Amino acid sequence: MKLTKLRLLGFKSFVESTDFLIEPGLTGVVGPNGCGKSNLVEALRWVMGETSHKSMRAADMDDVIFSGNTGRPQRNTAEVAMAIDNTDRSAPAQFNGDETLEVSRRIERDKGSTYRVNGREVRARDVQILFADASTGARSPALVHQGRIGEIIQAKPEQRRRVLEEAAGISGLHARRHEAELRLRAAEQNLARLDDVIGQLAGQMDALKRQSRQAVRYRALSQQIRKSEATLHHLRFVNATTEVADAEHAKDVSIRVVAERTGAQAEAAKHQAIAAAALPALREAEAREAAALQRLVIARETLDREEARAKERMAELDRRIVQLDEDIAREQRLAADAEGAIARLAAEQEGLEHEATATAERRLGVDERVTAADGQVKATEASFDKITKEVADLTARRKELENAARGHADRRTRIEHELAGVTAEFERVAAEAAASVDLAALAEAVATAQAAIGEAEAITLRAEAAHSGARQALDVARQPLGEAERRAHRLETEAKTLAKVLHVDAKNLWPPVIDQLVVTKGFETALGAALGDDLDAPIEANAPMHWGGANADGDPALPDGAEPLAAYVTAPKELARRLAQIGIVARADGARLVSQLKPGQRLVAREGDLWRWDGFAVAANAPTSAARRLAERNRLADVEDELKVARAEVE
């Protein structure tokens, strides 16, 4: 046999189909490091039956498949084929009928590899024996690689013996002998298992013999039991006959008793008729008594309500009396304060008049000025009384307007300070009058005090107006705040309720796929009608019932006018094929397009109508639980968005 051609497809760096021709003579491959020279030798060893991935310089046998690069995606299969010239007919008998042998090995990712000879699938052992008969193989010394000569020189006697046997052409015989020995050992094991089966059958025969003896004994006992049961039934028949005779006698006695009771019943019926004749009068009397009782009850309830209203009125009057007493006490305190202030001013006025009279003889023309000063003093007293009343009003308002209390207190302190300045000015005027000082300064001080008092009054009025406007603005501003807070609270309550409803099965070991779906609003009913209870299945592979996904290559297209439901649903990849075969149509077009459906396809309307490829149809009714759950999920998302806006409005 001679090797004539080597073809590689997807093996390591050979991503495209590559044919390596081996012409007569010496064939060599020259190239730089990394160009794939070693991959050719490894391809030869791999197609000859190499089973060690380490010999292929790989971490796993799947690594011999092209793993992709920046310009090409990875492949899922790899194949190496070897063409052998068999014109000398030296191949094993099962392959020796053809002059050319094509040995190929194909591997698929995660599924293992298969061997074929001339297109017929064979065992790896058959391929290994084929090359062993030709004094070569995957681990043959004839395949020399880097460091191989040193390994042969340092080889152990057993390894040297294998080299000599292969050179002598008897390695195929050793392979066949090894396979024959394995078959003999398997036959010996089968014989040993056969002895065990024979022993087991002997034990079963003994058990069957015991069961046979038990069956014979059971048959004898069954006959005895049937005789005993017949005797028992006869005795029961005799007892039943006796009981029937006793029952006949008891029946005769009962007939006589019934006749006696019938006479007594007729007598009782006569007495009942007499009592019934007297019953209407008693009922009429009872009705009159009940009406009188009802009137008394209504009168009692009316009196109770009047008493309650009187008590409430008395309590209200007591509260008003207490309030009036507090108002009177407050007014009395204010009046006492005013009288004290007036008394102080009167005393000061008398002192000034006395001092002015004492100095009247010494000063000529001062009387007119003193009279003018008295008028100014009276005006000042009037202003002082007015200011005192204003201060009292501000003090009373302070209990109702707590936010403006400190400002009013500051203004009152300032007014009192100005009054103290006026009083000091009066004392200074009196001292100057006693010392014969010019009264012009006194008049100027009085005018200054009046101006200060007028300014204080204006400030007080402005403060009251500002406070009133601020309270009105506060009331107006609180209305939208209250509305925004109520809206936010309502949305929070709705969101919590929907979240609680949607997370009932949050601790489920295999959560349903419906919790991973996102549906465009308005298509929840259609999806629920199309999938139904299938939405309760999970996608975990270890679940007893789950979505595993499927390859959609070659699936037929939906009829014209039907739009895939997958365009409106965001779902895991395991549902992609199912959703691609469900079409959305108008309600009126479903019956027309159902005849164009291919096996596995179905149509659904947004209202919930369903048409299936096998002729099964469902009219829209109430939405399914899956549709309601999907609608609640969409509503929860909308509520969360509205809640964010509402919280921003509240802030």
Q: Which tens digit of pLDDT belongs to each residue from 203-238?
A: 889 889 889 989 999 989 988 998 998 999 999 999
d(C-alpha 121, C-alpha 382), whole Å: 129
Identify whether the C-beta of residue 374 lies closer than 8 Å to the C-beta of residue 351: no
Q: Residue 445: which pLDDT band, with cuts at 50, 70 and 90?
A: low
- Please determine, for residue 592, whether its predicted confidence score (pLDDT) is greater than 70: yes
Query: Across the beta sheet with 18-21, what order do the strands follow?
Result: 18-21, 2-9, 77-85, 100-108, 112-117, 120-122
Sequence-ordered list of residues with C-beta below 8 angstroms from that of 532, at least 6 positions apart, any chain? 624, 626
Q: What is the pLDDT of residues 549-567, one digit of tens each?
A: 777 777 888 888 888 888 8
- Please determine, for residue 404, whether its predicted confidence score (pLDDT) is greater than 70: no
Q: Residue 432: which pLDDT band, with cuts at 50, 70 and 90?
A: low
Identify whether the C-beta of residue 385 lies closer than 8 Å to the C-beta of residue 419: no
d(C-alpha 547, C-alpha 590), whole Å: 28
d(C-alpha 340, C-alpha 108), whole Å: 114
Torsion from C-alpha of 339, 342, 344, 349, nearest 10 degrees? -150
Average pLDDT over residues 237-264: 87
Specify the range with the lowest mean pLDDT, choosing from 94-98, 465-469, 566-570.
465-469
With H, G, I as helix, E, B as strand and everything else as coil, classify residue 241.
helix
Count the neighbouring beta carbons within 10 Å of the beta carbon of residue 369.
17
**Residue 344: what pLDDT?**
76
Ramachandran angles phi, psi of 92, nearest 5°: -55, 160
Q: Are strands 2-9 and 77-85 parallel, antiparallel or unpaired?
A: antiparallel
- Please determine, for residue 333, whether its predicted confidence score (pLDDT) is greater than 50: yes
Q: Identify which has the larger pLDDT, 378 or 300.
A: 300
- Please determine, for residue 334, whether its predicted confidence score (pLDDT) is greater than 70: yes
Indicate yes or no: pTM above 0.75.
no
Identify whether the C-beta of residue 529 lies closer than 8 Å to the C-beta of residue 609: yes
Ramachandran angles phi, psi of 422, nearest 5°: -65, -45
**Residue 366: what pLDDT?**
47
Specify the range with the lowest mean pLDDT, choosing from 10-19, 204-213, 343-352.
343-352
Exposure b/e, 229-260, CB count within 10 A at least 16 = b: eeeeeeeeeeeeeeeeeeeeeeeeeeeeeeee
- Please determine, for residue 386, whether its predicted confidence score (pLDDT) is greater than 70: no
**Residue 462: what pLDDT?**
75
- Please determine, for residue 249, whether its predicted confidence score (pLDDT) is greater than 70: yes
Ramachandran angles phi, psi of 559, nearest 5°: -60, 155
Q: Identify which has the larger pLDDT, 295 or 231.
A: 231
Bridge partner list, 7: 19, 81
Identify whether the C-beta of residue 513 lies closer than 8 Å to the C-beta of residue 537: yes
Q: Residue 501: which pLDDT band, with cuts at 50, 70 and 90?
A: low
Percent of the chain past pLDDT 90, that is, above it, reads 6
Identify whether the C-beta of residue 587 lies closer than 8 Å to the C-beta of residue 607: yes
- Please determine, for residue 595, whether its predicted confidence score (pLDDT) is greater than 50: yes
**Residue 504: what pLDDT?**
46
Ramachandran angles phi, psi of 19, nearest 5°: -105, 125
With H, G, I as helix, E, B as strand and everything else as coil, classify residue 70.
coil
- Please determine, for residue 165, whether its predicted confidence score (pLDDT) is greater than 50: yes
**Residue 437: what pLDDT?**
44
Q: Identify which has the larger pLDDT, 463 or 14.
A: 14
d(C-alpha 389, C-alpha 134), whole Å: 132
The CA-to-CA distance between both ends of the chain, in Å, stands at 90
At 79, which helix (H) or strand (E)?
strand 77-85
**Residue 145: what pLDDT?**
60
Sequence-ordered list of residues with C-beta below 8 angstroms from that of 137, at least 6 positions apart, any chain? 48, 49, 128, 131, 171
Q: What is the pLDDT of residues 613-625, one digit of tens each?
A: 888 888 776 556 6
Identify whether the C-beta of residue 64 lies closer than 8 Å to the C-beta of residue 10: no
Average pLDDT over residues 170-175: 63
Identify whether the C-beta of residue 102 lies closer than 8 Å to the C-beta of residue 47: no
**Residue 166: what pLDDT?**
63
Identify whether the C-beta of residue 547 lies closer than 8 Å to the C-beta of residue 575: yes
